[in-house]
Structure 1
Amino acid sequence: MRVSSPSTRLFTRLPLAGNYPAAVALALLALSPYLILTTATSLAEPQIMGGIGATQYELQLSSGMSNAAYAFGAVAAADLVQRFARRRIYLICECGFVLSSVLALSAQNIGMFAAGLVLQGLFTGMLLVAALPPLIIGHPINKLQTTAAVVSLGLFGMVAFGPLVGGLVGSLGGWRPLFAGVGTLALIGLFIGSLTFEGNDPPDRRARFDWTAIPLAFGTTALPFFGVSWLTRGDFSDPQFYVPVFVGLLCGVFLVGGQYRKAKPLMPVRPISNTLPVVGTLNAMLVGACFTTLLELIEVYLTRMAGYSPLRIGALVTPQILGVLIAALLFRRLMSTRWTPYLALCGTVSVAIGAAVLLAASTSSASVTVPIASFFLGFGAGAGVTPGLFLAGFSVPAAQIGPTFALVELLRSEAAFLIGPVLLHFALVQGLADGFHQAVGITLGITVIGILALVTLYALGGARPEAPDLVSWHAGTDTGYHSPALLAAVRGR
Structure 2
Amino acid sequence: MPSRSPLPSLFTRIPLAGNYPAAVTLALLALSPYLILTTATTLMEPQIMRDIGATPYELQLTSGMSNAGYAFGAVACADLVQRLARRLVYLVCESGFVLATVLALSAQNIGMFATGVVFQGLFTGMLLVASLPPLIIGHPIERLQTTAVVISLGLFGMVAFGPLVGGIVGSFGGWRPLFAGIGTLALIGLIVGSLTFEGNEPPDRRARFDWTAIPLAFGTTALPFFGVSWLTRGDYSDPEFYVPVIVGLICGVFLVGGQYRKARPLMPVRPISNTLPVVGTLNAMLVGACFTTLLELIEVYLTRMGDFSPVRIGSLVTPQIMGVLIASLLFRQLMSTRWTPVLALCGTVSVAIGGAVLLATDTSNSAVTIPFASFFLGFGAGAGVTPGLFLAGFSVPSIQIGPTFALVELLRSEAAFLIGPVLLHFALDEGLANGFRQSVGITLGITVVGALGLVILYILGGARPEAPDLVSWHAGTSTGYHSPALLAAVRKA
Contact 1:8 1:201 survives alignment (8 Å): no
1:18 matched residue in structure 2: 18
1:244-263 equivalences under 5 Å are 244-263=244-263
User: Which residue of structure 2 aligns with residue 234 of structure 1?
Assistant: 234
1:414 corresponds to 2:414: yes
Mapping of 1:288-367 within 5 angstroms? Answer: 288-367=288-367
- Secondary structure of 1:148's aligned partner: helix
1:267 corresponds to:
267
Is the 8 Å Cα contact of residues 8 and 199 (structure 1) preserved in structure 2? no
Shift of 1:4: 2.1
- Indicate the residue corresponding to 2:374 in structure 1: 374
Q: Is the 8 A contact 2:30 2:186 kept in 1?
A: yes
| Cross-structure match for 2:58 | 58
Corresponding residue number in structure 2 for 1:148? 148
CA contact (8 A) 2:224 2:246 kept: yes
Counterpart of 1:159, as a letter, is V
Cα deviation, 1:136-181, whole Å, max 9, x if unaligned, reads 0000000000000100000000000000000011000111011111
1:3 deviates by 1.5
Gaps of 5+ in 1: none
Instruction: Provide the C-alpha distance between the structure 1 equivalents of 2:447 and 2:45, rounded to a whole number of angstroms.
Output: 29
Q: Which consecutive aligned stretches of 4+ in structure 1 deviate over 4 angstroms post-superposition?
A: 8-12
Tell me if 1:30 matches 2:30.
yes
Cα offset, 1:251, TM superposition: 0.2
CA distance in 2 between counterparts of 1:162 and 1:438 reads 26
SS at match of 1:282: helix
For residues 431-450 of structure 1, the aligned pairs below 5 Å read 431-450=431-450
Specify the SS of the correspondent of 2:152.
Answer: helix
Q: Distance in 1 between matches of 2:187 and 2:304?
A: 37
**CA deviation string 1:16-52 (max 9, x = no partner):** 1000000000000000000000000000000000010
Amino acid at match of 1:72: F
2:361 is matched by which residue type in structure 1? Answer: A
In structure 2, the partner of 1:122 is: 122
Contact 1:281 1:388 in 2 (8 A): yes
Answer yes or no: is the 8 Å Cα contact 2:287–2:347 preserved in 1: yes
Task: Tell me the equivalent position of 1:287.
Answer: 287
Q: Please tell me the residue identity of whatever aligns with 2:456.
A: T
Q: What is the match of residue 74 of structure 1?
A: 74
Code of the residue aligned with 1:136 in structure 2: it is I
Once residues 196 and 273 of structure 2 are traced to their aligned partners in structure 1, the CA distance between those partners, rounded to angstroms, is: 35
Alpha-carbon contact 1:274-1:483 (below 8 Å) kept: yes
Q: Which amino acid aligns with 2:198?
A: E
Cα distance in 2 between the residues matched to 1:74 and 1:187: 21
Give how far 1:14 is off: 1.2
User: Is the CA contact (8 Å cut-off) linking 2:103 and 2:112 kept in structure 1?
Assistant: yes
The residue type paired with residue 315 of structure 1 is: S
Question: Counterpart amino acid of 2:64?
Answer: G
Alignment-derived partner of residue 184 in structure 1 = 184
**Alpha-carbon separation, structure 2, partners of 1:256 and 1:8:** 38
Matched, 1:96 2:106: no
> 1:157 and 1:265 mapped to 2: Cα distance?
32
> Across the two proteins, how many residue pairs are aligned to each other?
493
SS of 1:376's partner is helix
The aligned amino acid for 2:17 is: A
Q: Distance in 2 between matches of 1:230 and 1:14?
A: 47
1:9, distance to aligned residue in structure 2 (A): 7.1
* 2:45 is equivalent to residue 45 of structure 1: yes
Deviation at 1:6, TM superposition (A): 4.0
Tell me if 1:480 matches 2:493.
Answer: no
Alpha-carbon distance in 1 for matches of 2:457, 2:414: 22
Alpha-carbon displacement from aligned partner over 1:330-380 (angstroms, at most 9, x marks no partner): 000000000000000000000000000000000100110000000000000
CA contact (8 A) 2:223 2:247 kept: yes
Deviation, 1:460, is 0.2
Note if contact 2:85-2:200 (Cα within 8 Å) is conserved in structure 1.
Answer: yes
Query: What does the per-residue CA deviation read over 1:80-103, in whole Å, with 9 as the maximum and x for residues that have no partner?
Result: 000000000000000000000000
Cα offset, 1:5, TM superposition: 4.7
Secondary structure, in 3 states, of the residue corresponding to 2:43?
Answer: coil
Take 1:243 and 1:138, find their aligned partners in 2: how far apart are those partners? 44
How many percent identity over aligned positions? Answer: 85
- Alpha carbons of structure 1 residues 109 and 420: separation in structure 2 relative to 1, 3 Å: same
Specify the alignment match of 1:197 in structure 2.
197
Whether 1:466 aligns to 2:470 is no
Letter in 1 for 2:478: D
Mapped partners of 2:50, 2:252: distance in 1: 37
2:3 paired residue number: 3
Q: Distance in 2 between matches of 1:386 and 1:6?
A: 35
Alignment check: 8 A CA contact 1:297 1:436 kept: yes
Give the CA deviation at 1:11.
4.8
Distance 1:467 1:9 in 2: 43
